[in-house]
Homo-oligomer: A and B are copies of this chain.
Amino acid sequence: MSRRILLNAFDMACVGHQSAGLWRHPSDEGHRYTDPAHWTSLARMLEDGGFDALFLADVLGVYDVYGGSRDAAVRAAAQVPLADPLLLVPAMAAVTSRLGFGVTVSVAYEHPYALARRFTTLDHLTGGRVAWNVVTSYLDSAARNLGRSGQIPHDERYELAEEFLQVCYKLWEGSWADDAVVRDRERGVFTDPSKVRDVGHHGRWFDVPGAFLCEPSPQRTPVIFQAGASPRGARFAGTHAEAVFVSGPSPAVVRRSVDAVRAEAGRAGRDPRSVRIFAMLTAIAGESDEAARATLREYLALTDPEAALALFGGWSGVDLSGASPEQKLEYVQTESTRSALASFTGPDRDWTVGELAEFVTVGGRGPVVVGSGATVADELERWADEADLDGFNLAYAVTPGTMRDVVTHVVPELRRRGRMPAPADAGGPTLRERYGTGDGARLAEDHPGSAHRTLPSRPA
């Protein structure tokens, strides 16, 4: 069988995620993001349709770089209003049994002791189907409202993230022994106190001397996801990530990120092939190439280019509100935004502002592929092979229509080609087993979290 392609649906607890303006399409149900039934029916459809996981993005601010104002984003519901993604998972978990759930939470605004409990709770409630997308946050608007004037410097954010994960690993892997919970009714012992250990963490950012509050969940540590594109981000991903989320306009651009992450994993003493790498991509699939192209034309008539540039402003820090479409991107960037733009566009093309605006209008930072199931499958195979990918985070143009079209047209084709397994062979029941990134449901031996399994036992 050819190399398997993993599929995650990429979504967010908001009206419009990556395709600004498409909330106006008659079939779009993004405005139902506060209705549990919207999420439970989406989750059922994804699970029945062969998706591996639902991946939820998050930010804690608004997109206010474009024109120095949030108005464009607010007007077009571009990631605002926005709900808390963690709270969407329990209802979806209760109506599914195999679908994974990746949730984005920033380490900048949480305390590890409380956040570790949240993820353990979710891992219990889902039976081990949870991933944590570890982010360090990029929006100044979030930092301001959470009581920090401006961001912590970029590299320091990763130092904080390193220590945050160390604390979490100690709590998840080291505090409660596998045989701590004994449930011995006769002796009146639910948990053997000698098998619950203090983690004794004293670091630069956090002091966590005591024991964890939670008994071990199926995966203990959730599957660790990461999305950093910078060199420091790639090093962090190579060290900690079991799954990495990349994006770029061409397989060649994406390949560079993939190679960097796999190299960093090797440098960290891990098997570079054990890291699952997903590219962002929007697939518009239909009965035929022509039908799919007609659908895309429908979408393009409803896009909101100003709101798309508002999203781009937040991602890159670059305000394109004053630029004319013909201007080369090269001339609108400043020293401080050069690397953000370069990681977005890659060095292969000399983009104009207009080209960029058109590119990000549907599907945000990722490419759009359009066509019949066979055509889309061809493109996914080409991307996977040329960029050395393990799968895709598929963004939507409209929700849930885009994912339903993938289920209808693309999944059967990928199965015929041996790129996706039959449901019975998809692996599981935990997400780590489904992704195949660990030692069964637990972290791989060569993952740095595994080192914390050996916290010293206490004399009884």
Contact with A121, one of B40, B76, B80, B87 (Cβ below 8 angstroms): B87
Question: Which among A71, A76, A113, A118 has the greatest number of chain B C-beta atoms within 10 A?
Answer: A113
Q: Tell me the smallest distance from the CB of A139 to a CB of chain B, in Å.
A: 11
Instruction: Report chain B residues within 8 Å CB of A196.
Output: 70, 74
- With A24-B188, A208-B145 known to touch, is A121 a contact of B13 (CB < 8 Å)? yes
Q: Among residues 69 to 95 in chain A, which have CB atoms less than 8 Å away from a CB atom of chain B?
A: 69-71, 74-77, 80-84, 86-91, 93-95
**Which stretch, A209-217, A243-251, A447-455, touches the partner chain B?**
A209-217
The answer to the question of A34 belonging to the interface, with a C-beta cut-off of 8 Å to chain B, is yes
What is the oligomeric copy number? 2
The answer to the question of A36 belonging to the interface, with a C-beta cut-off of 8 Å to chain B, is yes
Q: Among residues 191 to 222 in chain A, which have CB atoms less than 8 Å away from a CB atom of chain B?
A: 191-193, 196, 206-211, 213-215, 217
Contact between B80 and A34, CB atoms less than 8 A apart: no
Q: Among residues 33 to 52 in chain A, which have CB atoms less than 8 Å away from a CB atom of chain B?
A: 34, 36-37, 40
The answer to the question of A122 belonging to the interface, with a C-beta cut-off of 8 Å to chain B, is yes
Contact with A210, one of B13, B62, B93, B209 (Cβ below 8 angstroms): B62
The answer to the question of A153 belonging to the interface, with a C-beta cut-off of 8 Å to chain B, is no
Instruction: Report chain B residues within 8 Å CB of A31.
Output: 183, 190
Q: Tell me the smallest distance from the CB of A262 to a CB of chain B, in Å.
A: 34
Contact between B70 and A211, CB atoms less than 8 A apart: yes
Contact between B15 and A190, CB atoms less than 8 A apart: yes
Q: Tell me the smallest distance from the CB of A53 to a CB of chain B, in Å.
A: 18
Question: Which among A15, A86, A94, A109 has the greatest number of chain B C-beta atoms within 10 A?
Answer: A94
The answer to the question of A147 belonging to the interface, with a C-beta cut-off of 8 Å to chain B, is yes
Contact between B34 and A87, CB atoms less than 8 A apart: no
Contact between B145 and A210, CB atoms less than 8 A apart: yes
- With A87-B122, A87-B125 known to touch, is A146 a contact of B190 (CB < 8 Å)? no
The answer to the question of A144 belonging to the interface, with a C-beta cut-off of 8 Å to chain B, is yes
Contact between A185 and B82, CB atoms less than 8 A apart: no
Contact with A91, one of B94, B181, B190 (Cβ below 8 angstroms): B94
Q: Tell me the smallest distance from the CB of A303 to a CB of chain B, in Å.
A: 10
Contact with A90, one of B36, B61, B62, B210 (Cβ below 8 angstroms): B36
Contact between A125 and B36, CB atoms less than 8 A apart: yes
Instruction: Report chain B residues within 8 Å CB of A181.
Output: 81
Contact between A111 and B77, CB atoms less than 8 A apart: no
Q: CA of A209 to CA of B24 in the docked complex: distance in angstroms?
A: 31
Q: CA of A34 to CA of B13 in the docked complex: distance in angstroms?
A: 24
Q: CA of A191 to CA of B307 in the docked complex: distance in angstroms?
A: 13
Q: Tell me the smallest distance from the CB of A331 to a CB of chain B, in Å.
A: 30
Instruction: Report chain B residues within 8 Å CB of A192.
Output: 75
Contact with A193, one of B75, B88, B146 (Cβ below 8 angstroms): B75
Contact with A87, one of B21, B62, B118, B183 (Cβ below 8 angstroms): B118
Q: For A142, give the chain B residue with the smallest CB separation.
A: B113
The answer to the question of A374 belonging to the interface, with a C-beta cut-off of 8 Å to chain B, is no
Contact between A144 and B209, CB atoms less than 8 A apart: yes
Q: CA of A81 to CA of B116 in the docked complex: distance in angstroms?
A: 13
Q: Tell me the smallest distance from the CB of A245 to a CB of chain B, in Å.
A: 22
Q: Tell me the smallest distance from the CB of A61 to a CB of chain B, in Å.
A: 8
Q: CA of A384 to CA of B277 in the docked complex: distance in angstroms?
A: 61
- With A21-B188, A80-B213 known to touch, is A60 a contact of B113 (CB < 8 Å)? yes
Instruction: Report chain B residues within 8 Å CB of A61.
Output: 210, 213
Contact between A145 and B60, CB atoms less than 8 A apart: no
Q: Can you sample 21 A-B contacts with CB below 8 Å?
A: A31-B190, A34-B125, A34-B215, A36-B90, A36-B94, A36-B125, A61-B210, A62-B210, A69-B193, A77-B190, A81-B181, A81-B213, A82-B213, A83-B121, A87-B122, A88-B90, A88-B125, A113-B145, A141-B210, A145-B209, A146-B208
A: which residues have CB within 8 A of B? Answer: 13, 15-16, 21, 23-24, 31, 34, 36-37, 40, 60-62, 69-71, 74-77, 80-84, 86-91, 93-95, 109-111, 113-114, 117-118, 120-122, 124-125, 141, 144-147, 149, 176, 181, 183, 185, 188-193, 196, 206-211, 213-215, 217, 304
Q: A24-B185, A36-B125 are in contact. List 8 more A-B contacts (CB 8 A).
A: A60-B113, A74-B196, A76-B189, A81-B213, A88-B90, A110-B114, A145-B210, A147-B208
